Amino acid sequence: MRNISLLLLLCIYLSIDISFSLSSSLFNGKIWHITDTHYDFLYQTGGDTTKQCREVPGKKTVDGIVYSKKFENDNNNKNNNINIIHHPNDTASAVGSYSCDTPYELLISSFEAMVKIEPNPDFIIWTGDDPPHFETYQLNQSLVLQSISNMTELIKYYFPDTRVYPSIGNHDSFPEHQIPIGPNWLFDAITEYWSPFLTNSSLETLQYGGYYTELVEPGFRIVSLNTVFYYTQNKQCLNLTDPAGQFAWLNSTLYQAKLNNELVWIIGHVPPGYNEKYDIYNFHKQFNDIYLEAFSDYSDIIVAHFYGHEHSDAFRLYYDRPSMGEDFPTGIMFLTPSLTPWQNPWVPAPPNNPSLRLYHYNYTDFTLLDYDQYWTNLTDNIKTNEINWMLEYRAREFYHVEALDHISMYEAYLLIEQVPEMLDTYKLYNSVSYPSKGCDDVCKRIQLCSIRHPFVKGFKTCLVSV
């Protein structure tokens, strides 16, 4: 962001109030996970919430395009039913709207909140999706690149001395979701933007495939994957068995890590497995199980996976050899919810409150100890025109576990399965405490099976047997 003084002014104006208590574990590592910010540079306060807050009645749009007309045209072209839900008294307030992407004030307040809660994280993982949601007409390559470079600069501005490990999201491209193997305009650009964060060998694989690995410190490695290659909406890699050689590279990277006695964290945007929020698979089916199997010889060195994309707070268990049964998990994946509250108008799923997540890990053995899930109540913010960030819950406390390894999280799963109040609260946290409609039998099965069975066959069997 060039206009730093405007930033500062806004921060003072917003007078952000943080409710949190100091964590007792002062000597452990802490990291922010930033994901799905979807800042909308076209958001207009007072805008029509049925038109993504980009059009103020009786006023010309920012770029002079009559938005509603285009919106309807695009929608007709998609030949899809639009499913706009009117939230009670929802207006495009300066602090945000459930119908729309992140306005400037919400974006800035999230960074102000992060530096107030934990200004010196050991590093940041940033799993993508910076541009706003929309069909192709109001975006283009240069606006998408601007979104990514603006976000890069914003993170650097608020966390100037912090290492950042980014991953590419399905919206970080144009047209959205379409990412072919590199080199291409997108990988060339992110290689340039992210060069301050990454070593030369990472920049090489980033430019070719949008993936890389970095040694955080001796014995501790991050592997950042480009899972958009496997995403159901990406049509660019359907004919390929191993887009940009990522699977082969992943195998040799993990093999080498194991030889070197390193522990590994996997980060990426789109998670594998079943999307409990949209009731669909995230990956093309030919990629889902192959992706998961790529980790099966290495679960002893993989601490956890970290993803975004679904705008949902969830986790998934993992198994090395699903053909041998999926009784005892060998791995764990966490999904962090989004900053954007945006409700997808094409899918019957709730919106969510804006989220920020801080993970705690052990400095000595790099295992995950806990996370603090922060949120802001947008319903309340719209009433008061202020943004108050609060602690929603702590993982260890809510799940009644000692740590966040796969064994503890399997116990957490059993609690959710067996205690109805746990499932209800898990479901409420899915949408960052946006009021839940409750969970009928179908919903319950989808929730439980998506946690328990990321592999296609296991999930299908689970759905009919839970």
Ligand X SMILES: *[C@@H]1O[C@H](CO)[C@@H](O)[C@H](O)[C@H]1NC(C)=O
Q: Where do contacts with ligand X occur on this chain (CB under 6 A)?
A: 1-3, 28, 39, 41, 63, 88-89, 140-143, 146-147, 150, 200, 236, 239, 251-252, 255, 362, 364-365, 369, 377, 379-380, 383, 433
Q: Report the nearest approach of ligand X to the CB of residue 240 (Å).
A: 8
The answer to whether 169 and 127 are in contact (CB under 8 A) is yes
Nearer to ligand X, 75 or 91 (CB): 91
Work out how close the CB of 152 gets to ligand X at its nearest, in angstroms, rounded to a whole number.
Answer: 11
The whole-angstrom separation of Cα 290 and Cα 301 is 19
Query: What's the closest the beta carbon of residue 402 comes to ligand X, in angstroms?
Result: 8
Our CB check for ligand X shows the closer of 73 and 364 to be 364
Residue closer to ligand X, measured from CB, 323 or 460: 323
Question: To the nearest whole angstrom, how small is the minimum distance from the Cβ of residue 317 to ligand X?
Answer: 22
Least spacing, CB of residue 287 vs ligand X, in Å: 14
Closer of 174 and 410 to ligand X (Cβ): 174
Nearer to ligand X, 181 or 270 (CB): 181
Smallest gap, in angstroms, from Cβ of residue 200 to ligand X? 4
Taking the least distance from each CB to ligand X, the nearer of 253 and 336 is 253
Residue 260: CB minimum distance to ligand X, A = 13
Burial class (CB in 10 A: 0-12, 13-18, 19+), 440: exposed
Comparison of 43 and 281: residue with beta carbon closer to ligand X: 43
Give a three-class secondary structure readout of the chain.
Answer: CCCHHHHHHHHHHHCCEEECCCCCCCCCEEEEEECCCCECCCCCCCCCHHHCCCCCCCCCCCCCCCHHHHHHHHHHHHCCCCCCCCCCCCCCECCECCCCCECHHHHHHHHHHHHHHCCCCCEEEECCCCCCCCCHHHCCHHHHHHHHHHHHHHHHHHCCCCEEEECCCCCCCCCCCCCCCCCCHHHHHHHHHCCCCCCHHHHHHHHHHCCEEEEEECCEEEEECCHHHHECCCCCCCCCCCHHHHHHHHHHHHHHHHHCCCEEEEECCCCCCEECCCCEECECHHHHHHHHHCCCCCCCCEEEEEECCCCCCEEEEECCCHHHCCCCCCEEEEECCCCCCCCCCCCCCCCCCCEEEEEEECCCCCCEEEEEEEEECHHHHHHHCCCEEEEEEEHHHHHCCCCCCHHHHHHHHHHHHHCHHHHHHHHHHHCCCCCCCCCCHHHHHHHHHHHHCCCHHHHHHHHHHC
- Minimum distance from residue 449 beta carbon to ligand X (Å): 27
Name the residue nearer to ligand X (CB basis): 41 or 398.
41
**Closest distance to ligand X from the beta carbon of 403 (Å):** 7
CB of 251 to ligand X, least distance (A): 4
In sequence order, the 6+-apart residues with CB closer than 8 A to the CB of 29 are 122, 360, 361, 362, 363, 366
Q: Give whichever of 313 and 446 is closer to ligand X, judged by the CB atom.
A: 313
Tell me how far, at minimum, the Cβ of 90 lies from ligand X, in Å.
10
Closer CB to ligand X, 335 or 382, in the complex: 382
What's the burial of 272, exposed, middle or buried (CB within 10 Å: 0-12/13-18/19+)?
buried
Closer Cβ to ligand X, 56 or 143, answer by number: 143
